[in-house]
Structures are given as C-alpha cells and as structure tokens.
A and B are shown apart, each in its own frame.
Chain A
Amino acid sequence: MSASHGGVLKHHFEDIEQQRSSERIGMWMFLASEVLFFGCVFFAYTYYRYLFPHEFAIASSKLNVAIAFINTLVLLTSSLTITLAIRACQLGQRKALIATLGATVLLGFVFTGFKAYEYAEDWHEQLVPGTRFNEEQFRDVKSPIDPTKEIHVDRIKLFFSFYYAMTGIHMLHLLIGVGVVFYLFARAVYGNLTPERYVAVETTSLYWHLVDVIWLFVMPLLYMAGPHTSLHF
C-alpha cells in the first residue's frame, strides 16, 4: 500500500487519510497548547495595564507604531502566500510552490528586519530596563489619560519588560516558522515535496497562521495602549 503513495505512508498507519488527519489534529492540539502559552502572558500584561493605565499609556507612546503597522501587513501577506502554497503543492505546480514558499520565507525575514530595526531604535532611545534605561526622559511626562496623576517610572519599566518578553517570544516563534518553511522550500526545490505530501505544507501553514494571529493580539495590546501623536521613522 505504501508504494501507491510514493512511500509517504508510515508503517504504523493503516491508510494515508488516517495519517493525514493525525498530523492535522496533532498540529491543532499543539496550537491549543500555544494559545494557553501566550494567553498566560497576555493575561499578566492585561492585569498590569488595568492596574497602571497611566504609565502603560506613556510607555506605549514611545513605541514605533508605524513599523508595527507595516509588520502587520507583512505578516498578513505571508499568511496568504503560505495558503497559496498548499494549493500549489496539491496540484503539483512546482514553480508556484517554490515561489509561494520562497515569498513566505522572505516576508518572514522582512518582518524580522523591521523588528530588529525597531529594537535598535529602542536601544538607542535607552528604553531597555535593567541594561540601558534612561529614567530622565520620563521625569516630567504627564499621563495622557489624566495629567494630574503621579507617574512611577518603575511601572514604565514593567511595561517594557512585557514588551521585550512578548515581542521576543513571538519573534522566536516566527523564526522557528521561517526555519520550517525554508526546509519545505528546500524540499520543493529538490522536487521532494510531491502532491502526496501536501499535509506537511498544510500543518506548517497552521502554525504560521497562529504566529500571525498572535501578532494580531500583541500589536494592539502593546502599541495601541497609548496615543501616538507623531509617526517617527
């Protein structure tokens, strides 16, 4: 039986559909686990934002919302390209498969590049608590919500702790995704990613979409917690 599927069927499955649905459901289970993983840090962040809305608004205003916006578009586009890759793989269109997987990897790198630029900017603006943080810049800043409120710079640091933790863990997930998609890309180039093996692309795309969706939560939580009066680059 395995011969009829080009050696795709693993020995312990009865038929190829059983194998495919196992791989699919396995990925969904993993994603459920990931949702709880990120849900935990989202909860903690939201709790503190509820406690310290003024400081979080001030700190959020320091972030570069323009880059975050561009990056959102980049990720959404990459989700489109990887979805097209599934179709290309199923139909055996090798060129389209290589193109869409390549584009996905590229968009992943574009996102990482922008984010790295943003991190460099944060470093330059001395916004890294514990290592390089200039408290002076927050000395006379007033809360955009209620200017009479006293501002505690420690809580601004708390915001940045979450900023680096959340974007950092997200970026790590993205890089793992880029690695996996690049592996698929290489297999497509070598002609090894045949239509029988399309589930590999499909499960990878599920993961990729999750990383995308998580960004859709990270972005408003962090970048839209305060007003942005001027866009800077």
Chain B
Amino acid sequence: MSVASVNELRAVPDESPKEVRHKSYLEEGYSIWSWLFTVDHKRIGVLYLVTVFGFFLVGGIAAGLIRLNLLSPSGAILDNDTYNKVFTAHGVVMLFFFLIPSIPGILGNFFVPIMVGAKDMAFPKLNIASWYVWMIGAAFAVWGLLIGGIDTGWTLYPPYSTRSSSASVLPGALGVFISGFSSIMTGLNIIVTIHKMRAPGMTFGRLPLFIWAMYATSLIQLLGTPVVAMAVLLMIIERATGLGIFDPTMGGDPVLFQHLFWFYSHPAVYIMILPGMGVINEVITCFSRKNIFGYKAVAWSSVGIAVVGFLVWAHHMFVAGISYYAALLFSFLSMLVAVPSAIKMFNWTATLYRGKITFEAPMIFALGFMVLFTVGGLTGLYLATLGTDIHLHDTYFVVAHFHFVMVGGMVVGLLAGIHFYWPKMFGVMYSDFWSRFAAVLIIVGYALTFAPQFYLGLHGMPRRYPNYPPEMRVFNVASTAGYFVQGVGFIMVATYLILSLINGKRAGRNPWKATGIEWATESPPVLHNFEKTPVVVCGPYEYPLNVMQTGEKADVR
C-alpha cells in the first residue's frame, strides 16, 4: 500500500479536522443575544422547544394537583375553589401554550424550510416576532393565573366569565387573545414557505407528508384563530365595559359565544393532532423501510381533515339548546371526520405490512400513537352520536376521549418527532436503551391514566367535579397511579436528552438511514441548511430504491 493511499484512508473518517467544515447553526454565536435576536428558523425552533416544554412542565404540575386531589372521594388536598383554578390552569396552559404551539413551533419552524429545501422561512423576522408575541401572551396568562387564578375552565364561557366569576379572567383571556396572533403568524409563514420556497424538483407530489400535514395545520391556524380572537375580544369587551354582547339579561345570547368559540376550538384540535400525524408518516416509513402506502390518500386526508374539521363545531353544544335538526346535521358531519383519520390509520397499517420493522424509540412512540389515537378516535364516535352524547356529555368519558387523542396522539407524536429529529437538531444521539424504556413507560402510563376514566364517565362521574362517590375510588386511584408512571417516563426523557447534549455520541448526517431531504445535510445543519441549493429527484420515502430525495445512496439496510 502506497503512502498516498494511507493518507487518503486517514482523510476519509467523518470527523476529519482538516476538511473545511462550515459552522453549524449552533456555532454561529454563543451569547444569549445571538439566541434572542436570531432570525434563523432553526434557532427559533429551539427557542420554542425550551419554552414549550417549560409550559408542559407547568401544565403537568397542575395535572398532578388534580390527580392528587382526586385520590380521595371528598377531595384530598385542594378546596373546591382552588380546584377550579387548578384545572383551568391545566387546560389553558396545556392547550394554548403547549399543544397548539408545540409541533408547529418546534418541528415546524425547524424542519419545514429544511424539508422543502429552503434556506429559511419566507419571513424570518415575522418568525421571531411570532415567538415574542407568544411569550407576551403567555406572560399575560401566567400573570392572570398567579394573581388570582381563572376558574372558568379553559372554555371561558360567558355569562359566568363575564359576570359572575370574581377571578382574574381578563389577563388570562388577553393572554389567549395575544398568543392567537403568534399562531396566525406561524401558520402564514409556513404556508408561504411551502408555496414559494421549495427547492428545484420539490413538487407538491414529492413533499414529505409532514409538510402536507403542516400545510393543513397552518390553514386552520390562519382561518380559525381570527374567529376565536374576535369571540374572546367581544367577551373581554363585555367583561371590561359592562356591555351586553353575550349576557342574556341584556338581550345577548351566551350560546353565540359557544358557536364562535368552537368554530375555532374544534378545528384547533386538528391544529394539535395533524402535525403529530405528519410526524408519524416520517417515522413509520423510516423504521419499516418501506414507501408510504397511498401517498396521495394520506396527503389529501390531511387537507380533508382541515376542511371537514371546520364544519363540525356544534357537536359541543348538543345539550346547549341548539335546534334538533342542526344537531342531527352536526352529528353526521362529526362522524364524517372519522373518514380521513381512518384513511391515515389504514395507510399506516398497510405501510407496516411486510416491512422490516425495528423498534427504536421513535418507532415505539409512533406505534403507541397509532394505538392510543385509534382508541381516542373511536370513542369520539360515541360522542358524535346524538343519543349517547346526551348521557356522556360533560363526563369523564369526554375527558378520557380527548386525552387519548391529544395526549396519546399529539404528545406521543411530538415525542416521536423529537426523538426522530433530535440527532438532526443537535447532532447527537441519546441513550438507545433508556429511550426505548421511557417510550414504553410513557405509553403504558397514558393508558393507565386515561382508560379508567372511560369507565368513570360511562358511570356518570362528571368532569370538573372535585369529589365523587366512594365506589369510584379504585378507578381514580388507578388513574393517579398512571399519572406518576408517565411522570417517571418524562423525567427519564428529560434526563437522557439533556445528557446527550453533554456527552452523546456524534450522530452523523443520517443516523436512521432515512431517505428524506432533511437527512442529506449536516447534523446539526449549517446556517443556510444546505451547502448549496439541493435538487430533488424523487419522493421522500424511496426506501425500496435506496435513494435519498437528493439522489444520493441512502444505505438502507
């Protein structure tokens, strides 16, 4: 062997110091200002990552207080008034400051430009502005929760919220109102980015399905959020000035508020679930080494969910005195949403069929998502059915249903995404063993927390009550136990993820041997994502052909 070839061999290893390596986005600056004044979509994604999980912790602690209180039939630790404030805090924080900004804020900001092959979002300044607006909204809400608490439930129904409640509803509602603008900004930015910033060859038919899901999500954010903003604004005006817009004693109609509120807040559950579904597409294909089954069906079902999702809101008011025929129609339309959701579920199952499945942590989360979301989705049909809803309305059955969808769906989907993309975001791998262990623990914990609540609801335990008959105690204790199982799982996730930042081993460009365009750049990516503008030659899931979207070999097993 000649000297030259030995030197060549030395030059080949991936971490060669001699090779001119561009700085990653993490190395562009180290001061706090380089983060706070950044316009880089990746850094904004990381800002969201830190703050969103901060709020998850706050909302999670509130959930813990609720569960602890329900250990005893007469309420274990909180008086009734505080209990109201705690579950409202849980709802407001988890929905407006965790679920809605979670995947769009973290993975949407970080990966939408990369996955369409762009250097940045279309409007980078608007992007960082959205984070600040969100933080201002959050500050208002936290202020409201601290100085007196809000006891209306997250739905803020008048006339209680405008007339009777003595709690600090105003700052909380203002916080919701302001953070809504952040949601609109993010949605707008993502839509324009997908339309205008795609790399050469990145046609709509070659977009990763995560991008399709984010597109549908952004449409809802853009078109739904202004409606709830106006509804909450009218509610704020009524409370602040004594005008009677929703007050029945002054001619107003409180059910109108419910219409306007749910016109947004039902589609908002799709803001929360669609991005999770988007992540699942990426993970399932990668760890079963197969192309997605029915790309077009999955892509359009996202849009279908967004569109039909706007037509079902009144299923929240079946017992609020809406007309019988309206209820009938909305019942039918609500069941219709199950169709595009089921299309996704069947296509994922077909994708798994005869795949070379491996069970890395993201895949365990993705499979958990499929199971938990299916339970949540099917129990939704019970609630969409008029007759059963009369019985189940405002019981723990509803609580269990939407937690299976939101927590079992979106939180698990988010964790799948975080675990899948962590090596790309920070260039390091986390502990394989502990991540698999935590994934199983969290999924089992969820099932244990919320499955007993179906039973409780079916037997008539109302939601938002601080106490219950003693016969129901065993199920409540099981539910609380489940909460702690999850809690342990989350502490594990936080621990090994943080440890991986300190001493995780380098991930390299493509640790999962995936074929999407985002794996064709450095981990962590450079400031402008790609060394030069990528050219896309095929769809995102060409595992059978062993090529990446950029045409390189993917080393698929």
Chain A residues in the interface with B (C-beta under 8 A) = 11-12, 14, 18, 21-22, 25-26, 29-30, 32-34, 36-41, 43-44, 47-48, 51-52, 55, 129-131, 152, 154-155, 157-158, 161-162, 164-165, 169
Contact = CB atoms under 8 A, between A and B. Distances in A.
Contact of B196 (A18, A41, A152): A18
B234 interface: yes
A154 B249 CA distance: 8
A61 B32 CA distance: 59
A154 B124 CA distance: 48
Interface in B513-553: 528, 533
Given A131-B241, A154-B251, A164-B243, 11 more contacts: A11-B528, A18-B196, A22-B195, A22-B196, A25-B192, A25-B195, A26-B189, A32-B222, A33-B225, A40-B226, A40-B230
B381 interface: no
Complex A-B, nearest 10 residue pairs according to Cβ-Cβ distance, in ascending order: A37-B226, A40-B230, A161-B243, A12-B120, A12-B119, A130-B242, A155-B251, A36-B226, A22-B196, A154-B250
B226 A11 contact: no
B260 A40 contact: yes
Interface in B67-94: none
B234 to A, nearest CB: 7
B145 interface: no
B108 to A, nearest CB: 16
Contacts of B121: 12
Nearest to B228: A40
B197 interface: yes
A157 B252 CA distance: 10
Contacts of A43: 260
A43 B249 CA distance: 21
A36 B223 contact: yes
A165 B197 contact: no
A165 B230 CA distance: 10
Interface of B: 118-124, 184, 188-189, 191-192, 195-197, 222-227, 229-231, 233-234, 237-238, 241-245, 249-253, 256, 260, 263, 528, 533
Contact of A44 (B192, B222, B223, B260): B260
Interface centre among B118, B119, B122 (most CB of A within 10 A): B122
B251 to A, nearest CB: 4
B254 to A, nearest CB: 12
14 contacts: A22-B122, A26-B188, A29-B222, A33-B223, A33-B225, A33-B226, A36-B227, A37-B226, A47-B256, A51-B253, A158-B250, A158-B251, A161-B238, A165-B233
A12 B118 contact: yes
Contacts of B253: 47-48, 51
Interface secondary structure of B, over-half rule:
helix
Interface secondary structure of A, over-half rule:
helix
B197 A22 contact: yes
Given A26-B122, A154-B251, A158-B250, A44 B244 contact: no
A13 B205 CA distance: 22
Given A22-B196, A29-B192, A33-B184, A161 B229 contact: no
Contacts of A154: 244, 249-251
Nearest to B250: A154
Nearest to B119: A12
A30 B227 contact: no
A40 B235 CA distance: 13
Interface centre among A36, A55, A129, A130 (most CB of B within 10 A): A36
Contacts of A161: 237-238, 243-245
A38 B229 CA distance: 10
B222 A129 contact: no
A115 to B, nearest CB: 18
A129 B226 contact: no
B249 A41 contact: no
B243 A129 contact: yes
Contacts of A40: 226-227, 230-231, 260, 263
Contacts of B230: 37-38, 40-41
A29 to B, nearest CB: 5
Contacts of A11: 119-120, 528
Contacts of A38: 230
Contacts of B244: 129, 154, 157-158, 161
A152 B251 contact: yes
Contacts of A51: 251, 253
A165 B237 contact: yes
A21 B195 CA distance: 10
A39 B227 contact: yes
B138 to A, nearest CB: 21
A54 B197 CA distance: 54
Contacts of B256: 44, 47
A14 B197 CA distance: 9
Contacts of A29: 188, 191-192, 222
A37 B229 contact: yes
B256 to A, nearest CB: 6
A161 B237 CA distance: 9
A34 to B, nearest CB: 7
A97 to B, nearest CB: 25
A42 B473 CA distance: 49
Contacts of B241: 130-131
Nearest to A168: B237
Contact of A33 (B118, B120, B188): B188
Given A32-B223, A161-B237, A26 B192 contact: yes
Contact of A41 (B123, B197, B234, B533): B234
A21 to B, nearest CB: 6
A30 B237 CA distance: 24
Contacts of B196: 18, 21-22, 25
A26 to B, nearest CB: 5
Contacts of B226: 33-34, 36-37, 40
Contacts of B234: 41, 44, 165
Contact of B222 (A33, A152, A169): A33
